[in-house]
Structure 1
Amino acid sequence: MIGLLDELGPAKIPNMDLKPVRHPYSWNNNASVLFLDQPVNAGFSYSSQNVSTTAAASKDIYALLTLFFAQFPQYAKQDFHISGESYAGHYIPIFSREILSHKDRNINLKSALIGNGLTDPLTQYEYYRPMACGEGGYPSVLSKSDCQIMDNALHRCQSLIKSCYDTSDARTCETATSNCNDAVLGTFIRSGKDFYDIRQNDGAGTPSYSDQFLNSKTVMQALGVEVDRFDACNRSVNGNFVSAGDWMLPIHRSIPKMLEQIPVLIYAGDADFICNWLGNRAWTNALEWPGNRAFSKAKVQPLRSATGKADYGNVKTAQNLSFMQIYQAGHMVPADQPEPAVDMFNRWIGGEWFSKR
């Protein structure tokens, strides 16, 4: 619902009057878009049982999409692209893997898109200090001593993540999550800067009225909502995922199998801290797969829309894998750079960067 109302849906709620306003750069100007509240018990979704891992959530997503396309078969033959941001760096690879594992599926999956995602924590946690300390294209937001504190904390953090990668043990992975987030991310939190946009102070961004809109009685009645209220983040569900060790799993290992069947786009707004572009660029460059050499040698090309007067980012692509850096955008690229984002999206689903092999 945040993606729907704050980023890329057909309407936004820009003011306290809670009246929807048409969004000219909606991603549904060239596609039909489904917005899902998941995992269960997040947003308006509900269940008597919780899920605590991405793998478990993938079963629900596959069941939902299968039922949807069975109910609306006129859409089942159309190209289907799966997209998400942030923790969807976990969701999208595992959901795609689940869909592609069913040969008798009625889901015509054609590609996957991940925006500012957490996919390979072992690699990505290494780039928190560089991003915070002036190596990501923006001035440092930390003192030299704080940058050193982050450097000092990294070795133990990465050692714990590697143990998680090696064992997939829930307690081992939970320990890695708690240690790394306290020791590495804690220093950044004390800076008072925004996790999602290093250019601004925490809490200083554009206000969102989507929560108020979704919690209004009129909207809830119109939607037939069967929960008491909308919450953008369910802390209980979040805690369950952390306790189950899901956070630090090596999700990137699912990407090579995906690339054998569908194109994958990793894009990142370059002002984000928490899933920053440096870390996303690093893991895509380091990914072990048959196209690694071609991807490493691929030239970085500028991105510019047909109507644009300046480049809005750059792209590197080879054999079904693409990485894009989007300039002057934080964690939520479509919110910060709506016109470039829809240009990127429309060109992507149009197949501009799909492998022709």
Structure 2
Amino acid sequence: MEADKIGALPGQPNGVDFNHYSGYVTVDSKAGRALFYYFAESPDKSSTKPLVLWLNGGPGCSSLIGAMMELGPFRINNDGKTLFRNDYAWNNVANVIFLESPAGVGFSYSNTSSDYHHIGDKSTAKDAYTFLVNWLERFPQYKTRDFYITGESYAGHYVPQLAYTILLNNKNANQTLINLKGIAVGNGWIDDRTGYLGRYDYLWTHALNSDETNKGIHAYCHHFNDKDPNECDDFQSKSYVEQGDIDGYNIYAPLCPLDFSSSIKNSNDSVNSFDPCSDYYMISYLNRPEVQTALHAGVAKWHKCSYSIFGWTDSPASILPIFKNLMATGLRVWLYSGDVDSVVPITSTRYAINELKLPLKTAWRAWSTDNQVGGYVEEYEGLTLVTVRDAGHLVPSYQPARSLTMISSFLLGLLPPP
């Protein structure tokens, strides 16, 4: 544990009042496969706070996106060299692990190159579970702590699959018991058919697609796989062209200018206004040799999403059966959704929930942060839906204060405040 402790990150601001750690945990010693993590403890009474795992999606994208652009304790300034504090970081209310998974993503690796050709949902869940068991040996004080899994996008697969794997292994008498209490998935891809249908209906209702294109999709696209006629593909292509050059992950956000260096501001960035060029600052920062050294990372070219993984071997068309299983165990299950994301939009999440046909417990209502409507909440038997107003696909990037209110409520087992 002490070997993984970070002395200081290059360019970090003064007054860092929490411990943070990073390094590798071996998940298969024979193959030489190891996963990289960054762990930020809570600055305030960390021993009383729960443990939260964060997973970004892709598949094949790094959870350091979550750490450096979304919910982590720092954001990167536009110089790509220095950091500033995120006042709304989730480690205010929890101890947060960011895991780069599977091997081949970010700094995570395998010494057996054939591993990169045989990666899919099953192997990802298995390795993430092994990571947790081994990580808890390194940080034994967290073994009995309440544990939650969170993530976004394709983590709509990762999060429930890992939760299911944990519950299965917890039945094993000689296994480490992981004290899993709940899962929260943001703008999660959980069901292919409702996912695509929700996307195209969102584009149409948000004035990004024509009536004709939407009608065509409803007429020809029933499965969103190779069972559909060619016309379905044609209308999907039309839908893409019609929206023009916008950021699908936040339909109202500006794009990063092509020559973003000319737009660099002198002042330090604010956590309340998300810079559309943040990707570039993060890539620049994480590829600095002194940063990689401070993180105890194997010196490598760090990519936001992996170029090492060739093909994805298994990905079920729907994760809804797993959600049903998890809900049956009494696990806390939240689906939250930034409402200006068109890639995995709120409509997709609502259509997927409708497939479950759950009784309603608490009717749709607004919730608030700082005397402003932060979004809307609806509670079903076994599942809670929360929207985050004016947030894109990466909810904490665009609405840090609202996302902190949302996740604090989730961890307390309360609906967000009215």
TM-score (norm 1): 0.83
- Aligned 1:161-172 pairs, distance under 5 A: none
Q: What is the identity, as a one-letter code, of the residue corresponding to 2:248?
A: F
1:32 aligns with 2:104: no
Report what 1:240 is aligned to.
Answer: 311
> How far 1:213 moved relative to its partner?
0.5
Equivalent position of 2:138 in the other structure: 71
- Which residue identity lines up with residue 303 of structure 1 in the other structure? W
Aligned to 1:170: none
The residue correspondences of 1:143-154 to structure 2 (distance < 5 A) are 143-154=210-221
Quick check: 2:152–2:188 contact (8 Å CA) kept in 1? Answer: yes
Root mean square deviation of aligned Cα: 2.5
Return the match for 1:327 from 389, 394, 408: 389
Give the structure with higher Rg (CA): 2
Deviation at 1:233, TM superposition (A): 0.6
Give the structure 1 partner of residue 187 of structure 2: 116
Q: Provide the secondary structure at the position in 2 that maps to 1:322.
A: strand
Q: Report percent identity of matched pairs.
A: 29
Aligned to 1:287: 356
1:92 partner amino acid:
V
Q: What's the counterpart of residue 221 of structure 1?
A: 293
- Tell me how far apart the structure 2 counterparts of residues 221 and 2 of structure 1 sit (CA, whole Å): 19
Q: 1:269 aligns with which of 320, 338, 341?
A: 338
1:230-265 deviation line (CA, Å, top 9, x unaligned): 10111442x512xx352x521111001111231110
Which digits, 9 at most, give the CA deviation of each residue in 1:296-320, with x for residues without a partner? Answer: x641122113xx2221111111333
Residue 9 of structure 1 corresponds to 72
The alignment partner of 1:155 has SS state of coil
Shift of 1:160: 3.6
Q: Counterparts of 1:206 and 1:156 in 2: how far apart (Å)? A: 34
Contact 1:195 1:202 in 2 (8 A): no
Match for residue 188 of structure 1? 240
Q: Tell me by how many angstroms 1:14 deviates.
A: 2.6
What's the counterpart of residue 199 of structure 1?
252
> Contact between 2:159 and 2:185, CA under 8 Å: does it hold in 1?
yes
**1:253 paired residue among 302, 321, 332:** 321
1:211 — aligned with what?
Answer: 283
For structure 1, which runs of at least 5 residues remain unmatched after alignment? 162-175
Aligned equivalents of 1:320, 1:69: Cα separation in 2:
29
Change (3 A) 1:346 1:192: same
Q: Is the 8 A contact 1:99 1:105 kept in 2?
A: no
Deviates more, 1:274-283 or 1:227-236: 227-236
Provide the rounded CA distance (Å) in 1 between the counterparts of 2:301 and 2:232.
Answer: 33
Task: Give the partner amino acid of 1:277.
Answer: I
Letter in 2 for 1:264: V
- How far off its partner does 1:152 sit? 4.5
Letter in 2 for 1:255: F
Distance 1:339 1:14 in 2: 19
In structure 2, do the counterparts of structure 1 residues 69 and 181 end up closer, same or farther at CA, with 3 Å as the change threshold? farther
What CA distance in whole angstroms lies between the structure 2 residues aligned with 1:343 and 1:182? Answer: 42
Alpha carbons of structure 1 residues 186 and 211: separation in structure 2 relative to 1, 3 Å: farther
Structure 1 residue 143, shift from structure 2 partner: 3.2
Tell me, in whole angstroms, the C-alpha distance in 1 between the residues paired with 2:233 and 2:379.
32
**How far did 1:123 drift?**
1.5
Listed one character per residue, the Cα deviations across residues 122-145 of structure 1 (whole Å, up to 9, x for unaligned) are 1121122211112xxxx4122344
Give unpaired runs (5+ residues) of structure 2: 1-63, 258-274
What is the alpha-carbon distance in structure 2 between the residues aligned to residue 265 and residue 71 of structure 1?
29
> Deviating runs (4+, > 3 A) in structure 1?
143-153, 158-161, 178-183, 200-205
Greater strand share, 1 or 2? Answer: 2
TM-score, normalised via structure 2 length: 0.72
Amino acid at match of 1:25: Y
Structure 2 CA distance for partners of 1:183 and 1:55, relative to 1, 3 Å: farther
1:12 offset after TM fit, Å? 0.5
